[in-house]
Structure 1
Amino acid sequence: MRVFLRFCIFFITISIQAQGSISGNFSPAKDFKWLIAYELTPNGERYTKDTAVKEGAFTLEMPVTAQAGMYRLVYAVPQDEFYIDIIYDKKEEVKFNFDLQDGLTITNSIENKWYNEYFSKITTAQDRLLEYYVLGKDSIKEYMAILKELQTLQDTYEENHANTIAHKFIKANRSYLPTEYENLETFLKNKKQHHFDHLTINDPILQGSNFLTDKFASYVFSALPVNITTKEQLITEVIKNVNVTASKIANTSTGFQVRSFHQLWNIADANGMAEVQDYIFKNFLKKAAIANNDQKLVDDLEMASRLRIGAISPNITWEINGKKKSLSTIDPAENYLLIFWSSTCSHCLKELPTLHKELKEYEDLKVIAVGLEDDAINWKKVSATLPAFNHAIALGKWESDYAKTFGIQSTPTYFILDSEKRFLAKPESDKEVVEFLEN
C-alpha cells in the first residue's frame, strides 16, 4: 500500500539541538509491530531509524543529523509495497493516524495539508479537462474556464508556498496549458513537447522521491500519438520516448539512472513489452547498473529476460545409452515439460511418480527431468523408476549451471514449453501441470 505524505518535523534549539519526532497511531493495532524510517536519496534508500509500534501507537525519534528531504516509513514486508512516503523538513511536529481501510489522516502538519490539497485540486481540474475532450464537448466558454481554473490553482499554490519543500513538487508539477482552444491531437502533441519544461531533474529531493521516476514513466508510456493502431507502432513510439528520457537524465548520478530505467523496465514487463524491456536493458540499464556496481541487478534482469513467457528456453543436454541428446535437437512435440528435481527431495519423490503416471496419456509431450544432485548414485536409482522421462543430471545442485541458468530456488520446479520450445507457463505443482495440459 502506497501513501504519499508530506511530512515536517518541529525542530527545537535550546543551547543544543533536540531530536524531532514522528508520532501517530496505526489501526488495526494488531497488524502493526514495527516501523522503520529510510531516507530516500537519488541512489536509493538509506536507513535512518526504527521503533516499535505498541498497541497501535508509536513515536519515532529522528536523529538530529537527519536531513530535510523525503523519507519512507516501512510498516510491513515486502517493504516496497507497505510504506508511507513523507517529506521531513525539521520544522513541524507531525502526527498522523493510519488505517488499513481508511488510509492516512494527518492530525498535525500544515505543510502536508498544503501539499495534499494542491494535488487533490489540480488532479480534479485536470480530470475535468480530460473529460471535456473525452465527451466531445464544444463549449469554448467551458473550455477556457477549465484552463483558467488550472492556471489559477497552479499560480496560487506556487506563490503562497514558496520556500517550502512542497514548493519543489508543486512547481515541478506545472504542466502545459494552451492559451486558446486546441483539439485533442494538438493538445497532446504540445503537452508532450513541454513535458520536461518544469522538471528540476537534478534536485536531490525530487530524485529521492518517486515523483520524477513517475513523471518519466508517464512520458514514456502515455505521451503517445492518438493514431497508433498496431503493437509495432506502439513499441516504436515508446522506444522513442525512452530515448528522450535517457537524454534528459544522462548527467544525473548512476544510482538515479538505475532507479529510473529499472522502473521503466518493470512497467514494460507488466505490459508485455519484451522489445521495450530488451531495448532499455541493452542500451541503458545494464550500463548504468554495472557503473553503479550492481552486478546482482544485471544478473537478475538477464535471468528474468531469458525465462520470461515467450522466450526460447536455454538448451539442456543429456545422454541416453552413451548418445548425446539435447532440448534443441529433441524430436518435435506439441509441448515440452522441464522438471527440475532432486532424488533427495521429499516433495519430488511424492509428486514425480504420480505425474509420470498421469502424463503417459499425452503422446505429443516430451519431458526432460533435470536432477540437481551432489552425486549420481541415488539419482540413477530414482530416475530409473521414471522411464518415460528424459533424464539429465546437474552435479553441484544449487550451484550447478542449470540451477543458475533457470533460476531454480526450490524443487520441484516446472516449465511448460510450446512446440518451438518457448516458455508457455510456470506451474507451481504437478496438479497445475496437468491442469494446464488439459486446457
Structure 2
Amino acid sequence: MKKIKLKRLVLTFFLLPSLLLAQHTIKGVFSPAEDYNVVLLYKSMPTVSNYIASSEIKEDGSFQFQLDSTMTKGIYKIVYAIPQEDYNFDVIYNAKEDVELTFNAETGVTFQKSFENRLLASYTNSMAMVTQAIANYYSQQNKDTIALKAIFKTQKETQENFEKTAKGSIVFQFIKANKPYIPKKYVDFKTYVKQLKDHYFDYIDFNNKILQSSSFLEEKMLNYVFGMFSKTKDEINNYKDNIDVFCTVLKPTPLEVKRILLVDLWQQMVDLNKEAVANYLAETYLMDIAVALNDQHLLNGLMVYKDTSVGNEAPDFSFEMTKEGKKTIKRLSELSEYKNYVVVFWSTTCSYCLDEIPRLQAFAKTLEKGLVKVIAIAIEDEDIKWKTLKLNYPEFIHIYGKGKWDNEIGNSYGVTATPTYFILDKDKKIISKPEDVEALKAWFTKDL
C-alpha cells in the first residue's frame, strides 16, 4: 500500500511542472497560407513590446503559441509581416481561457474562441450598426424626431448592456473608453456633429495602461485628427486645429506615451506628404518632447525633415568634378548653369534603382539643353560596382556616398530608402520631392 501511494506521489510531482508550463494557447489559421511563413508573439506594454515566441505557419495556415503560467494577462500582439509596426493585431489574453482565431488580410482577424475578444468584436459590430442608423437618418433628412430619439435610446442601451456584460474583465476598459456621446433629445445634424467633436475624448483615460498597451489610443487619435473637419477651414488648418485639441487632452499623459502617439501621427503626415502639418506638429509639440526625453535621434530626424521640406534651401555639400582632365572641388550651392537640378540618391544594390536610373537618363535626354542636371549620389558599402555602372550615365554628376546609410550627405537629406529624388530650382531651393521617376517625369511635364 505504501509503495502504491509513493508511486502516485511521484507521478503527481512530475506532472506538476507540466501543469505549470502548459496553461493556455493562442492558436489560429492564416489564409491564404502561402502568403505567410511565421508569426511572432509579443507582450505589449505602454512603451515597449517584449518578445515572447515565434511560430511557423504550417501548410494549412495554422499556428499555435503555448502559454505557460508566467504569461500574465494583458494585451498581446501577433506580428505576421514586416515592418512589424504595420503588420500586427492585438489579442486580449486574460490568463483564464484559450484564444482561437482566423486571419485574412482582406477581412482582418475573427475570433472563434475567447470570451473577451469575441465580446469586443460583438460590441464593435453592434455599435457600428447603430452609428450607421444615425448616419442614414441624417442623410435622408428625416424629420421624424421620435425615430431619432429611438435610435439614440438603442445606442444608450447597447452601450450599457455591453458594459454590464464586460464588467470585471479586460475588455471592459475598451468598451468604457469607446462610449460615444449620446444626445438626450433631438438635435439637428450640424449640432450633432459639433457635439460629437466636443465630447470625442470624454471617456478615454490616456493614463490607462491597458489602453496604452493596445492600438486603441492610436486609432482614436487618427480617427479624430483625420475625421473631424470643419467646412469653414482648409485642410491644413483643420489638421492643425485637431492636433491642438488632441495634444491638449494628452497633457496629463506621460512623455513616453505622448512620444509614441505623436511620432506615429507625424509619420502619417509625412507619408501623406502633408509637410506643413508634419512640421507644425514637430515644432509645436514633438521637438519639446524630444528635448525633455533627451531623445537626440528623434530631434535630429524632425529637424532634418523640416530642413528638407519643399520651399527650403537644399542642404549644401561638396563633391569632386573632373573637367578637361583637371579635378576640382565644387559645392552644390556654386552650380548655376541649369534651371533645375535633380538630386537622386541611389545604390547599385537596389533593384528599383537599376530600373529607374536608366529611365531617368532617357527622360533627361528629351529635355531642352540647360533645363536639368542630374546629380546622382550613390550610397554604397563599396565602390567597385559603382565605378563601372556610373560610366553608363556620363551626363550625370556622380558622387560616391561612402558608408551607405551612414553617409553624411544622405543623412543631411534624411534618406532612408533608394531611390530618393529631390528637384531643386536654380537657387537650390527644394521645389518637389517626387516618389519615383514617373512622378518626376509628370512634374516636369506639368511644369513645362
TM-score range normalised by the length of the shorter chain:
0.7 to 0.9
Structure 1 residue 362 and structure 2 residue 363: aligned? no
| Paired position in structure 2 for 1:422 | 430
Q: Which runs of 5+ in 1 are unaligned?
A: 1-11
| Paired position in structure 1 for 2:182 | 177
| Paired position in structure 1 for 2:206 | 201
Partner letter of residue 365 of structure 2? L
Structure 1 residue 337 and structure 2 residue 337: aligned? no
The answer as to whether partners of 2:308 and 2:430 remain within 8 angstroms in 1 is: no
Q: Across the two proteins, how many residue pairs are aligned to each other?
A: 423
Q: Deviations over 1:119-147 (max 9, x none)?
A: 11111111221232233222212211111
1:121-270 matches, within 5 Å, as 121-228=126-233, 231=234, 234-270=235-271
Q: Which structure carries more helix by proportion?
A: 2
Task: Identify the range of structure 1 (307-316 vs 253-262) with the bigger mean alpha-carbon deviation.
Answer: 307-316
Which secondary structure state, in structure 2, belongs to the residue aligned with residue 163 of structure 1? Answer: coil
CA distance in structure 2 between the partners assigned to 1:116 and 1:376 by the alignment: 54
Task: Identify the range of structure 1 (339-348 vs 245-254) with the bigger mean alpha-carbon deviation.
Answer: 339-348
Which secondary structure state, in structure 2, belongs to the residue aligned with residue 154 of structure 1? Answer: helix
Q: Deviations over 1:285-332 (max 9, x none)?
A: 233345456544444444444445665432234577788754445337
Task: Identify the range of structure 1 (372-381 vs 360-369) with the bigger mean alpha-carbon deviation.
Answer: 372-381
After superposition, the Cα gap between the structure-2 partners of 1:393 and 1:34, relative to the gap in structure 1 and judged at 3 Å, is closer
The answer as to whether partners of 2:30 and 2:62 remain within 8 angstroms in 1 is: yes
Task: Identify the range of structure 1 (198-207 vs 82-91) with the bigger mean alpha-carbon deviation.
Answer: 82-91
Structure 1 residue 111 and structure 2 residue 116: aligned? yes
| Paired position in structure 2 for 1:3 | none
| Paired position in structure 1 for 2:278 | 277
- Normalising by structure 1, what TM-score? 0.80
Match of 2:63 among 44, 47, 58: 58
After superposition, the Cα gap between the structure-2 partners of 1:74 and 1:376, relative to the gap in structure 1 and judged at 3 Å, is closer
| Paired position in structure 2 for 1:6 | none
CA distance in structure 2 between the partners assigned to 1:99 and 1:384 by the alignment: 47
CA distance in structure 1 between the partners assigned to 2:132 and 2:418 by the alignment: 50
CA distance in structure 2 between the partners assigned to 1:419 and 1:141 by the alignment: 66
Partner letter of residue 160 of structure 1? T
- Give the drift of 1:68: 1.5
Which secondary structure state, in structure 1, belongs to the residue aligned with residue 41 of structure 2? Answer: strand
Q: CA RMSD, aligned part only?
A: 4.1
Q: Which runs of 5+ in 2 are unaligned?
A: 1-15
The answer as to whether partners of 1:258 and 1:288 remain within 8 angstroms in 2 is: yes
Using CA pairs below 8 Å that are at least 6 residues apart, which structure has the higher relative contact order?
1
| Paired position in structure 1 for 2:315 | 314
After superposition, the Cα gap between the structure-2 partners of 1:357 and 1:26, relative to the gap in structure 1 and judged at 3 Å, is closer
CA distance in structure 2 between the partners assigned to 1:384 and 1:99 by the alignment: 47
CA distance in structure 1 between the partners assigned to 2:229 and 2:85 by the alignment: 29
The answer as to whether partners of 2:343 and 2:377 remain within 8 angstroms in 1 is: yes
The answer as to whether partners of 2:317 and 2:331 remain within 8 angstroms in 1 is: yes
- Give the drift of 1:109: 1.8
After superposition, the Cα gap between the structure-2 partners of 1:211 and 1:105, relative to the gap in structure 1 and judged at 3 Å, is closer
| Paired position in structure 2 for 1:406 | 413
| Paired position in structure 2 for 1:25 | 29
The answer as to whether partners of 1:174 and 1:198 remain within 8 angstroms in 2 is: yes
Which secondary structure state, in structure 2, belongs to the residue aligned with residue 336 of structure 1? Answer: strand
The answer as to whether partners of 2:348 and 2:378 remain within 8 angstroms in 1 is: yes
CA distance in structure 2 between the partners assigned to 1:101 and 1:352 by the alignment: 36
CA distance in structure 2 between the partners assigned to 1:238 and 1:353 by the alignment: 37
Partner letter of residue 368 of structure 1? I
Which secondary structure state, in structure 2, belongs to the residue aligned with residue 136 of structure 1? Answer: coil
The answer as to whether partners of 2:46 and 2:209 remain within 8 angstroms in 1 is: yes
- Give the drift of 1:373: 8.3
The answer as to whether partners of 2:336 and 2:426 remain within 8 angstroms in 1 is: no
Task: Identify the range of structure 1 (148-157 vs 417-426) with the bigger mean alpha-carbon deviation.
Answer: 417-426
| Paired position in structure 2 for 1:34 | 38
After superposition, the Cα gap between the structure-2 partners of 1:397 and 1:267, relative to the gap in structure 1 and judged at 3 Å, is closer
After superposition, the Cα gap between the structure-2 partners of 1:187 and 1:428, relative to the gap in structure 1 and judged at 3 Å, is closer
- Give the drift of 1:89: 0.8
Task: Identify the range of structure 1 (397-406 vs 121-130) with the bigger mean alpha-carbon deviation.
Answer: 397-406
CA distance in structure 2 between the partners assigned to 1:75 and 1:425 by the alignment: 32
- Give the drift of 1:424: 2.2
| Paired position in structure 1 for 2:3 | none
Task: Identify the range of structure 1 (42-51 vs 100-109) with the bigger mean alpha-carbon deviation.
Answer: 100-109
Structure 1 residue 44 and structure 2 residue 51: aligned? no
Partner letter of residue 88 of structure 2? Y
The answer as to whether partners of 2:43 and 2:52 remain within 8 angstroms in 1 is: yes
Which secondary structure state, in structure 2, belongs to the residue aligned with residue 43 of structure 1? Answer: coil
Q: Deviations over 1:100-133 (max 9, x none)?
A: 5554342222332221111111111112212322
Partner letter of residue 42 of structure 2? Y
The answer as to whether partners of 1:185 and 1:226 remain within 8 angstroms in 2 is: no
| Paired position in structure 2 for 1:95 | 100
The answer as to whether partners of 2:21 and 2:68 remain within 8 angstroms in 1 is: no
- Give the drift of 1:173: 0.9
